[in-house]
Amino acid sequence: MQEPTPQKPINNSPQTVRLPIVISLTLAAGMLMGAVFFSGGKSLTDTAKGYAKFREVLMLVENNYVDSVNTDELVDYSIQKMLEKLDPHTSYFVAEEATAARSQLESGFDGIGVEFNVYNDTVYVVSPLSGGPSETVGIQSGDRLLKVNGEVLSGPGASNAKVFKLLRGKRGTEVKILVGRSSLKEPMVFDIVRDRIPTYSVDAAYMVDEEIGYLKVSRFSETTYEEFKTAMASLKSQGLKKLILDLRSNPGGYMERATSIADELISGNKLLVYTEGKDTRYNRKTNAKFKGMFEEGPIVVLANEGSASASEILAGALQDHDRALVVGRRTFGKGLVQMPIKLNDGSELRLTISRYYTPSGRSIQKPYELGKGEDYNKDLKERFDSGEYFSADSIKFDPKLRFQTDGGRAVYGGGGIMPDVFVPRDTSMNSKFLFELYAKNILREYALRYVNDHQKALDKQDFNQFLKKFTVTDAMLKDLVQDAKKAGIKPKDDDLARSKSLILAQTKGYIGRYHYGRQRKDGLNNEIFQVLNPTDNVFQEAMRQFGKAADLERGDFSSLNVVKEK
């Protein structure tokens, strides 16, 4: 009898090894964790059975499976896949990921500065972090990160750990990212230079004129409330009577920081937010407690589709109490509360434990189906495709989710905060050439070089003189275009004409930021906002709406828009 032919060693990929057992692991993990967190009417016997089955499967795999496997990796994978069957915001981080994720809010880090969400093997941008490299080059909410330095991010290998590993790195190093955008047929390549992502969360606080102050909050981190109070004290000392509070592209953060700021703006002991969960331990109400810094005076809040979570809590409280006029576009619509649970090995489960509700009783959480996170993450693309970014007429709310503000105005749940005054996205100056300038960092690099070459001339004037008198000349624009050509960007005359005024404004803004802003020690980037806000259609609309904001404070709602119902 002929001897059997020796077989070659099997070197299965981790994905191949996972397939035969992932279903068993997922089911077992689901039974175990479900019993622990949602035991409600279930007995401890069910928990014990789940634990026993999970342990049994793990032991069988460890001792009998044909190939050597990393059991810890399989457990992590099974948990992650199980959680995909829940809501889109419940998530699991291995120890390394948990540390990296916390640094977004607790301390600075080196990277490209982007808030992202991984779902169903796709990496979606929630929002670029204000002041970070991604925002500078033009990364937008809703973009899909496809490749990093040629390595594919999408597909079975997509994970939080992989994204953190590829995006973070030593400041000054460059990363090439392939990005998909709903408004473009072809992906774009962005060259992003990693930098220190600022720990500051109040980006700007300056007086627009003798009465109007502008304050931008980019996220709600550990220090946000203290930064806010410092900024407000400075504005009040300069004569603040009216406030523009910019929450655009603020992805959220700590709820308590948002409610503390709301308390500074809302009088009495009014309700600010409340939460309700299946377990009554997670039901809580947060009310205003003390005399705030700015409880009287018109407020205009700026919001858009990148405003999420804690920023929606703040905007919702101000809107429900008729304390502020909301201007811009419909917010993201995240009304679920996650509790971070640190596990024994350093990993972290962020478990959705409750929904939060604005004072009027509305949940602003946009619709989702369990296990359909991919559809959920495509919502921003669907908004673009439906024309919502450009016309409020396409936005319809369910009449069953109609609520009232303190003064009886209609507000709606189930889909974010609808602004009182809608402002379409301004794409009139967008062009392929402009996007390529962003992607290759041409504007920022030109401005930095200009500042280095003209420091003495810039030193002869203060920032207010620079703001009023400095212009980016045609000769400077010609030099900038030459830089673009050297980088392989060939501008079309039509594109250049269309984007010229925005290119000039942003170049001036960067020059102001790099020369005058580097002398600051408060983390504010006032200079670039002071240059660019006059070209911003949402900001300009806010300036025109203080009459309505004053009417709102007096209880006169006759001038406000009416939201259409389905």
Q: What is the pLDDT of residues 96-146, one digit of tens each?
A: 777 767 665 655 678 888 877 776 678 888 667 766 888 888 888 778 899
- In the chain, the amino acid numbered 480 is L
* Catalytic residue status for 320: yes
**Extended beta strands in 505-562, E state:** none
Encode pLDDT of 61-87 as tens digits: 889 999 988 888 888 888 888 888 898
User: To 5 degrees, how large is the angle CA 329–CA 334–CA 337?
Assistant: 150
- The terminus-to-terminus CA distance of the chain in angstroms comes to 79
For 311-315, 516-520, 548-552, which range has the lowest pLDDT when averaged over its residues?
Answer: 516-520
What is the pLDDT confidence band of residue 520, given thresholds at 50, 70 and 90? low
* Catalytic residue status for 185: no
Which among 353, 334, 310, 352 is positioned nearest to 415, based on CA atoms? 334
For the residues 370-388, what does the mean pLDDT come to?
Answer: 80
What is the pLDDT confidence band of residue 374, given thresholds at 50, 70 and 90? low
Contacts of 105 (CB under 8 A, 6+ apart): 219, 220, 221, 222, 253, 254
Pick the catalytic residue from 320, 322, 420, 536. Answer: 320
* Catalytic residue status for 110: no
How many other C-beta atoms can be found within 10 angstroms of the C-beta atom of residue 187? Answer: 14
For the residues 520-525, what does the mean pLDDT come to?
Answer: 74
Which among 113, 103, 116, 144 is positioned nearest to 348, based on CA atoms? 103
* The pLDDT of residue 461 is above 90: yes
Q: What is the DSSP letter of 289?
A: -
* The pLDDT of residue 430 is above 50: yes
Contacts of 219 (CB under 8 A, 6+ apart): 104, 105, 115, 129, 130, 201, 250, 251, 252, 253
Pick the catalytic residue from 91, 127, 130, 309. Answer: 309
Pick the catalytic residue from 216, 242, 334, 366. Answer: 334
Stated pTM of the model: 0.76
The pLDDT of residue 22 is 41
Element (H, E) at 245: strand 242-246
